[in-house]
């Protein structure tokens, strides 16, 4: 924690209180209110945490106005263009880009942890065939705490590291098997000769009956999708992981909590919701109807894949994702796909519309990722699991940072209570 060089003065009635102000290396100053309740007897009120910094962190920085996303200081477009997912994982986890030897060692560790305990197969088989793969992921990742007892002691730094490696390594296997189970195909085991993204595509699309070759352009696109979702500072699912782990819960349980939070359509579930929306719109002629609905205050409908809590100019991940979408569609020769035509036209109309401009609503990462994943052959139900597997490194890095922080305390927000004050119990016959 840095030292406070400025203070803010808060006056309540006759009393005033000096509150320390911390200056970050980038971003707005932060007023420290930790002693406010003890000294002034008041809470602050901030539903949705729109003005609250819940922790200090050195991992990811976002400037929503500029459309900037940095991981350990490195811009996302440079990482997406020049790096690959496991190198970004190393950067997020350990704070610096790896040397060639460090990267080789890290890649070898992750590659050698990709298999699941064989008994976990039975766990998968216990789900209903029509289970959503996110339901399977929440269950199976939570169940890892029942299989990997030697990496659940959060007070042991080495166990924390092993748990981090296991989660990053096994998540593609879990996501791919959730998919295989849903389509009734045999599970495909990981292959150590393939890189992280190619291995995932192989586990999803290979079948025992014939050879499957991973197209390098598709595996590069997959790897980019992983990079672009790798971390995003204190978003809802990351904050969920931090809050869950603040009680000392084991890492597998905490990451399962993050997956559950990610599932919602306002967060990671938006990629599935966006594609479903495009399918529902069906043709360009119906776009004005949906734009009108999105603008109607009495209609809860929102254009999925548009808007962001932090980005108010553009989503830098969406810029890279759009490029990637063009490359993949070009490779697969599906520029004339009707869904794509709806997406392109919707993007154009929404960007020109005054309502969206005024409210600073731009296509976000989920708008384009769904288009790529659909083109690659993934069903919409797999979009959010792919987000979850990509974000695992972010959750794990933030979790590790938090546990190692001496200031770490159990998360315990307070409330503005508006219910009844104390009253006497009334016997049932008198009600
Ligand atoms: N379509 C139509 N209107 C919208 C949309 C949208 N997608 N998003 C926000 N608005 C309007 C909203 O109605 C509100 O209008 P008003 O001020 O008149 O009440 C205004 O814009 C501000 O919205 P908000 O809900 O207060 O903004 P927020 O910061 O709480 O919500 C959001 C951010 C991402 C949840 C929201 O924009 C949304 O629901 N978008 C669609 C879902 C989506 O694409 N989510 C993925 C986010 S990126 C990936 C990730 O981080 O998981």
State the catalytic residue, choosing from 150, 308, 405, 427. Answer: 308
In terms of Cβ atoms closer than 10 Å to its own Cβ (0-12, 13-18, 19+), residue 58 is: exposed
Q: How far apart are CA 229 and CA 366, in angstroms?
A: 10
- Does residue 303 have its Cβ closer than 6 Å to ligand 1? yes
Q: Is the CB of 397 under 6 A from ligand 1?
A: no
Question: What DSSP state is assigned to residue 149?
Answer: G
Pocket test for ligand 1, best of 50, 302, 314, 317 (most atoms within 8 A of CB): 302
CA within 13 Å, CB half, 241? 29
Tokens of 47: 């539903």
CA of 16 to the centre of ligand 1 (A): 37
Q: Is there an atom of ligand 1 within 6 Å of 302 CB? A: yes
Among 150, 366, 424, 427, the active-site one is: 366
* 364 pocket-lining for ligand 1 (C-beta < 6 Å): yes
pLDDT (tens, 9 = 90+) of the chain, 431 residues, equals 678 889 999 999 999 999 999 999 999 999 999 999 999 999 999 999 999 999 999 999 999 989 999 999 999 999 999 999 999 999 999 999 999 999 999 999 999 999 999 999 999 999 999 999 999 999 999 999 999 999 999 999 999 999 999 999 999 999 999 999 999 999 999 999 999 999 999 999 999 999 999 999 899 999 999 999 999 999 999 999 999 999 999 999 999 999 999 999 999 998 888 999 999 999 999 999 999 999 999 999 999 989 998 898 888 999 899 888 888 888 888 767 788 889 889 989 888 999 998 998 988 888 888 888 988 999 999 999 999 999 999 999 999 999 999 888 999 999 999 999 999 999 999 99
From residue 13, give the alpha-carbon distance in Å to each of 17, 46, 104, 160, 412.
11, 21, 62, 48, 28
What was the pLDDT predicted at 389? Answer: 98
Angle subtended at Cα 388 by Cα 385 and Cα 389, rounded to the nearest 5 degrees: 90
User: Residue 253: helix, strand or coil by DSSP?
Assistant: helix
Best CA proximity match to 403, nearest among 232, 237, 236, 254: 254
Burial readout 74-96 (b: 16 or more C-beta within 10 A, e: otherwise)? eebbebbeebbbbbbbbbbbeee
Contact 229, 370 (CB under 8 A): no
Q: In ligand 1, which atom is closest to the CA atom of 294?
A: 2
Residue nearest atom 34 of ligand 1, based on CA coordinates: 308
What per-residue confidence (pLDDT) applies to 312? 86
Whether 204 lines ligand 1, by a CB cut-off of 6 Å, is no
pLDDT at 198: 98
Residue 232 bears catalytic tag: no
Q: What is the predicted pLDDT for the residue at 1?
A: 65
304 alpha carbon to ligand 1 midpoint, in Å?
A: 8
Per-residue pLDDT, 388: 98
Q: How far is the CA of 308 from the centre of ligand 1 (A)?
A: 6
Lookup: tokens for 431? 């009600």
Atom of ligand 1 at shortest range from CA of 265: 42
Contact 317 CB / ligand 1 (< 6 Å): no
Neighbour-count burial for 330-367, b at 16+ CB within 10 Å, e otherwise: eebeeeeeebbebbeebbeebeebeebeeeebbbbbbb
The separation between the first and the last C-alpha atoms of the chain, rounded to the nearest angstrom, is 55
- Among left, alpha and beta (phi > 0; psi -120 to 50; other), residue 74 is beta
Residue 258: CB within 6 Å of ligand 1? no
| Catalytic residue status for 366 | yes
Alpha helices by DSSP H, listed for 55-119, are: 76-82, 85-94, 100-111
The contacts of residue 170 (CB under 8 Å, 6+ apart) are 113, 114, 115, 116, 144
How many residues would you count in the chain?
Answer: 431
SS3 state at 296: coil
Q: 308 in ligand 1 pocket by Cβ < 6 Å?
A: yes
Nearest residue by C-alpha to atom 44 in ligand 1: 305
Q: Regarding beta strands 74-75 and 68-71, do their DSSP bridges make them parallel or antiparallel, or are they unpaired?
A: antiparallel
Rounded distance from Cα 307 to ligand 1 centre (Å): 5
User: Residues 6 or more apart from 266 whose CB is under 8 A from it?
Assistant: 236
Half-sphere exposure of 254 (CA within 13 A, CB side): 32
Q: Whose CA is nearest to atom 40 of ligand 1?
A: 307
The response to whether residue 305 sits with its C-beta less than 6 Å from ligand 1 reads yes
């Amino acid at each position: 924690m840095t030292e406070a060089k400025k203070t803010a003065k808060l006056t309540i009635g006759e009393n005033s209180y000096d509150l320390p102000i911390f200056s970050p290396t980038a971003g707005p100053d932060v007023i420290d209110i930790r002693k406010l309740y003890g000294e002034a007897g008041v809470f602050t009120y901030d539903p949705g945490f729109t003005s609250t910094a819940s922790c200090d962190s050195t991992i990811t920085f976002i400037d929503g106005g500029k459309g900037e996303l940095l991981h350990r200081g490195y811009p996302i477009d440079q990482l997406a263009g020049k790096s690959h997912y496991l190198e970004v994982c190393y950067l997020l986890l350990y704070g610096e880009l790896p040397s060639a030897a460090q990267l080789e060692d890290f890649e070898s560790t992750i590659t050698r942890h990709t298999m699941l305990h064989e008994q976990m197969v039975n766990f998968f088989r216990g789900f209903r065939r029509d289970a959503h793969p996110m339901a399977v992921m929440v269950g199976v990742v939570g169940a890892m705490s029942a299989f990997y007892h030697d990496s659940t002691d959060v007070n042991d730094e080495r166990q924390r590291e092993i748990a981090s490696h296991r989660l990053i390594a096994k998540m593609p296997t879990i996501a791919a098997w959730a998919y295989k189970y849903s389509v009734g195909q045999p599970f495909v085991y990981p292959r150590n000769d393939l890189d992280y993204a190619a291995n995932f595509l192989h586990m999803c699309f290979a079948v025992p009956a014939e050879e499957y070759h991973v197209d390098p352009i598709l595996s590069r696109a997959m790897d980019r999708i992983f990079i672009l979702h790798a971390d995003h500072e204190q978003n809802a699912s990351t904050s969920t992981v931090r809050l869950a782990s603040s009680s000392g819960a084991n890492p597998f349980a905490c990451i399962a909590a993050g997956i559950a939070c990610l599932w919602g359509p306002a967060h990671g579930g938006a990629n599935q919701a966006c594609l479903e929306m495009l399918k529902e719109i069906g043709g360009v002629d119906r776009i004005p109807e949906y734009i009108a609905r999105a603008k109607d205050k009495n209609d809860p409908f929102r254009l999925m894949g548009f808007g962001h809590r932090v980005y108010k100019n553009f989503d830098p991940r969406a810029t890279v994702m759009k490029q990637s979408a063009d490359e993949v569609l070009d490779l697969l020769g599906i520029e004339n796909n009707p869904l794509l035509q709806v997406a392109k036209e919707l993007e154009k109309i929404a960007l020109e519309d005054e309502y969206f401009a005024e409210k600073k609503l731009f296509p976000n990462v989920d708008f384009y990722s769904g288009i790529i994943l659909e083109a690659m052959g993934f069903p919409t139900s797999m979009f959010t699991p792919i987000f979850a597997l990509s974000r695992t490194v972010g959750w794990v890095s933030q979790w590790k940072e938090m546990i190692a922080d001496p200031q770490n305390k159990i998360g315990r927000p307070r409330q503005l209570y508006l219910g009844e004050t104390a009253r006497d119990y009334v016997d049932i016959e008198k009600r």
